[in-house]
């Protein structure tokens, strides 16, 4: 019991300090926030050796536990990835500051002047799993949008996350901002994560980033507002009118370019009219890149190397070199399959038929719907939003890549000349 109370007190103290920092952050001008972002970026590069030493500890522990290659890839930091994180902060610094933006303004009949103005949300909590780059990306977005952040990374990247947090929090303080604008839950226990989920009165928004189990846990247990960055069971549908050379390039890119991320394709749907020609072609590329193919009966006839798909496979986000393949009879069947098994993340159609493209984009329920392009573009940077705090697959407040605007709310500012209500 004493330990539980100690953890609760520790997390509550983080909340108190974050709330105090958030009040200061809301008053900063754009230049002050940009200076802090520049300081953070420079500090990452200057402290690369220290960060990589912490990452090596995480990698050794993960390797010793027999962690799979896709998860190892997400955990790994190297000099290139540190440089990319720093460049991401510079990119955020040049983005327009949403805070203070007048969304709309008008005058009502009694003469009151009303403006709807963007303001920071306040204190953002984020619970995430194996990607230490989230520590930096999320913190940079919160600094630029005038928020404070409390980070709770996964235990497998514990050393990396704490090293990154210290480096960027020190840099923020050196730039004259509140050091407590960036804090991390240092206790790696599940109990500490649970306390963060219940940090009422201090946390304005909690964002879970990870697999279905993490998201379900947070949604089930949190007593604070949650905006989840959902799992990505993403599909590519190759229509009967598709340019098959284009389709082959898109499918291979969506599955193989980086299979461990949420916008990688997990299921390939192929129209029966082109299956005989297309599936053997794309399967040869898959096999050359060591992709395991799991297919329905028709797929297995056309691709003898394919394993048998079960109902579970259509729901699965593999996050590795594995793909489920199904042959279907119409664009409607593709839409029905996606809406049943998908996670409302990113879905694509490859087609030369305008009607099929329009039907697909109108009826598929997802945060991002593509026509003749890879799902791998669902990313804040690729959308021109800078870094992202996650990709929302829900419909309230924000959907898709969550950049700066998603980390703001609005308030009404009303100016009068003595009006009273009769």
Q: Which of 175, 16, 24 is nearest to 89 (CA)?
A: 175
Q: Are residues 90 and 9 in the same domain?
A: yes
User: From the CB of residue 337, how many other CB atoms can be counted at a distance below 10 Å?
Assistant: 17
Domain-located, residue 383 = no
pLDDT at position 108 is: 97
Query: Domain range for residue 358?
Result: 234-377
397: left (phi over 0), alpha (psi -120 to 50) or beta: left
Residues 370 and 401 in one domain: no
* 422 residues of the chain, pLDDT tens digit each: 558 899 999 999 999 999 999 999 999 999 999 999 999 999 999 999 999 999 999 999 988 888 877 778 888 899 999 999 999 999 999 999 999 999 999 999 999 999 999 999 999 999 998 789 999 999 999 999 999 999 999 989 999 999 999 999 999 999 999 999 999 999 999 999 999 999 999 999 999 987 778 888 998 999 999 987 778 999 999 999 999 999 999 999 999 999 988 999 999 999 999 999 999 999 999 999 999 999 999 999 999 999 999 999 999 999 899 999 999 999 999 999 999 999 999 999 999 999 999 999 999 999 999 999 999 999 887 888 777 788 888 887 788 888 899 999 999 999 999 999 98
Domain identity same for 221 and 253? no
CATH number at residue 331: 3.40.309.10
Separation CA 43–CA 93 (nearest Å): 15
Total count of residues recorded for the chain: 422
Question: CATH no. for residue 214?
Answer: 3.40.605.10
* Same domain, yes or no: 72 and 13: yes
Q: Are residues 254 and 190 in the same domain?
A: no
Query: 74 and 260 in contact (C-beta within 8 Å)?
Result: yes
Assess whether 274 and 200 both reside in one domain.
no
User: Same domain, yes or no, for 255 and 215?
Assistant: no
Q: Let me know if residue 422 belongs to a domain.
A: no
User: Are 90 and 123 found together in one domain?
Assistant: yes
Cβ proximity of 177 and 28 under 8 Å:
yes
Whether 7 and 62 map to the same domain: the answer is: yes
Confidence (pLDDT) at 395 = 81
Pair (266, 366) in one structural domain: yes
- State the helix-helix crossing angle for 79-93 and 30-46, rounded to 10 degrees: 170
Structural domain includes residue 420: no
Residue 421 resides in a domain: no
Task: Please state the domain count of the chain.
Answer: 2
| Short-list 25, 273, 294, CA closest to 139 | 25
Evaluate whether residue 93 is within a structural domain: yes
Which pTM was predicted?
0.84
Q: Is residue 277 part of a domain?
A: yes
Domain check: are 241 and 123 in the same one? Answer: no
- Does one domain contain both 174 and 67? yes
Cα–Cα distance measured from residue 79 to residue 87, given in angstroms and rounded to the nearest whole number: 12
- Contact indicator for 116, 105 with CB cutoff of 8 Å: yes
Spell out the residues 6+ positions from residue 31 whose beta carbon is closer than 8 angstroms to its own: none
């Amino acid at each position: 019991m004493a330990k539980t109370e100690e953890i609760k007190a520790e997390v509550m103290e983080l909340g108190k300090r974050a709330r105090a920092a958030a009040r200061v952050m809301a008053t900063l001008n754009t230049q002050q926030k940009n200076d802090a972002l520049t300081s953070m970026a420079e500090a990452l590069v200057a402290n690369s050796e220290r960060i990589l030493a912490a990452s090596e500890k995480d990698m050794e522990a993960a390797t010793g536990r027999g962690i799979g290659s896709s998860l190892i890839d997400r955990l790994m930091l190297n000099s290139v990835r540190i440089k990319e994180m720093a460049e991401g902060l510079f990119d955020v610094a040049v983005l327009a500051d949403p805070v203070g933006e007048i969304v709309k303004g008008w005058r009502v009949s009694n003469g009151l002047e009303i403006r709807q103005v963007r303001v920071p949300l306040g204190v953002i909590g984020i619970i995430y799993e194996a990607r230490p780059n989230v520590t930096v990306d999320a913190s940079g977005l919160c600094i630029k949008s005038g928020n404070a952040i409390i980070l709770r990374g996964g235990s497998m990247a514990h050393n990396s996350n704490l090293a990154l947090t210290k480096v960027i929090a020190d840099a923020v303080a050196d730039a004259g901002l509140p050091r407590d604008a960036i804090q991390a839950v240092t206790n790696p226990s599940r109990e500490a994560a649970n306390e963060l989920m219940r940090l009422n009165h201090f946390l304005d928004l909690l964002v879970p980033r990870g697999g279905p189990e993490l998201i379900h846990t947070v949604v089930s247990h949190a007593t604070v507002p949650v905006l989840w960055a959902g799992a990505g069971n993403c599909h590519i549908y190759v229509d009967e009118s598709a340019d098959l050379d284009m389709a082959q390039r898109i499918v291979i890119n969506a599955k193989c370019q980086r299979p461990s991320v949420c916008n990688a394709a997990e299921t390939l749907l192929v129209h029966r009219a082109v299956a005989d020609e297309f599936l053997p072609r794309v399967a040869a590329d898959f096999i050359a890149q060591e992709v395991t193919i799991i297919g329905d009966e028709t797929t297995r006839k056309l691709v003898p190397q394919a394993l048998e798909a079960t109902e579970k496979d259509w729901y699965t986000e593999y996050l590795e070199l594995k793909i489920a393949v199904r042959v279907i009879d119409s664009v409607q069947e593709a839409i029905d399959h996606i809406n049943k098994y998908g996670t409302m993340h990113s879905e694509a159609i490859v087609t030369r038929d305008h009607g099929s493209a329009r039907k697909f984009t109108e009826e598929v329920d997802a945060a991002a719907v593509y026509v003749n392009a890879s799902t791998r573009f669902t990313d804040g940077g690729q959308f021109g939003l800078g870094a992202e705090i996650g990709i929302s697959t829900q419909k309230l407040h924000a959907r898709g890549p969550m950049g700066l605007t998603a980390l703001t709310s609005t308030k009404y500012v009303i100016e009068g000349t003595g009006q009273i209500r009769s």
